[in-house]
Amino acid sequence: MQLFLDSADMSEIKRADDWGVIDGITTNPSLAAEQDRPFDKLVAEICDLVEGPVSAEVVATEYDQIMQEARQLDDISEHIVVKVPLIKQGLKAVDELSDEGIETNVTLNFQANQGLLAMKAGATYLSPFIGRLDDRGQQGLQLVEQLTQIKHNYGFETDILAASIRHPDHVLQCSLIGADVATLPFEVLESLYDHPLTDSGLAGFLEDWEESGLEI
Ligand code: E4P
């Protein structure tokens, strides 16, 4: 399973990229709005730093404007994946963008039938929002399971990109289900490294080594 960082914060992106563990970046309009700088420059800087796909979202909701914004975003870098909301006009645009060879990430997927439509439209990535479904008392991971099953039933090439991840167990469960990608907030990514026995074990090894006087 690929791991993307879900962030528009350059300091987080630099730190995670330096760990060498992330395969790409997802942003959304809310994350971008927290950064006090022009969106095109921010996205260009992310693309310069990170080698993998970088999702940048359109904010138009009508076909012609979505296509215009998509082409503007696509011009920024070859890393760009145009993120498009799962609405009728959005999927119409995804169909055309797919024909033009522009990569897309269909976002705000909360139901398997919606996802089927996005796969049929030729989405490169499809983003089910797990945490937001859990917040409503629904089973976000069940949606990832259903989408993965549909993908394999019909041989769709769309990558299932688990989004709205809230904690490490979401990551584990997505990898067991067989999601293609999970996009993680910085705190969740960092927490994947942690276990108290790793810390205490390392402290013990280093203490014993120090006392022995050995050298490498
Ligand atoms: C996905 O691409 C979205 O940016 C993100 O995962 C949404 O997560 P949230 O529900 O924590 O806002």
Domain of 127, in residue numbers: 2-207
Number of domains into which the chain is organized: 1
Q: What SS3 state is found at 6?
A: strand
Whether 215 is in a domain gets the answer: no
Contacts of 64 (CB under 8 A, 6+ apart): none
Instruction: Evaluate: CB of 164 within 6 angstroms of ligand 1.
Output: yes
Q: What is the DSSP letter of 178?
A: T
Whether 216 is in a domain gets the answer: no
| Residue-level pLDDT at 96 | 98
Whether 51 is in a domain gets the answer: yes
| Residue-level pLDDT at 214 | 98
Whether 79 is in a domain gets the answer: yes
Whether 105 is in a domain gets the answer: yes
| Residue-level pLDDT at 84 | 98
Whether 214 is in a domain gets the answer: no
| Residue-level pLDDT at 180 | 98
| Residue-level pLDDT at 26 | 98
* Ligand 1 mutation pick, 4, 5, 22, 28, max ligand atoms within 8 A of CB: 28
Give yes or no for a contact between 64 and 43, defined as CB atoms under 8 angstroms apart.
Answer: no
Contacts of 152 (CB under 8 A, 6+ apart): none
CA angle 71, 29, 95 (to 5 degrees): 40
Q: Determine which residue's CA is closest to atom 7 belonging to ligand 1.
A: 164
The phi, psi pair for 145, rounded to 5°, reads -60, -45
Whether 212 is in a domain gets the answer: no
pLDDT digits (tens, 9 = 90+) for 185-209: 999 999 999 999 999 999 999 999 9
Instruction: Tell me which residues of the chain have a pLDDT lower than 70.
Output: none
Whether 108 is in a domain gets the answer: yes
| 120 noted as active-site residue | no
Q: What is the CA radius of gyration of the chain?
A: 19
Instruction: Evaluate: CB of 26 within 6 angstroms of ligand 1.
Output: yes
The model scores a pTM over 0.85 = yes
CATH number of domain containing 80: 3.20.20.70
What's at 70, amino acid-wise? Answer: A
Q: Which residues lie across from 161 on neighbouring strands?
A: 181
In angstroms, the Cα distances linking 195 to 1, 3, 15 are 21, 19, 20
Of the listed 14, 83, 88, 92, which one is catalytic?
83
Q: What SS3 state is found at 205?
A: helix
Give yes or no for a contact between 123 and 82, defined as CB atoms under 8 angstroms apart.
Answer: no
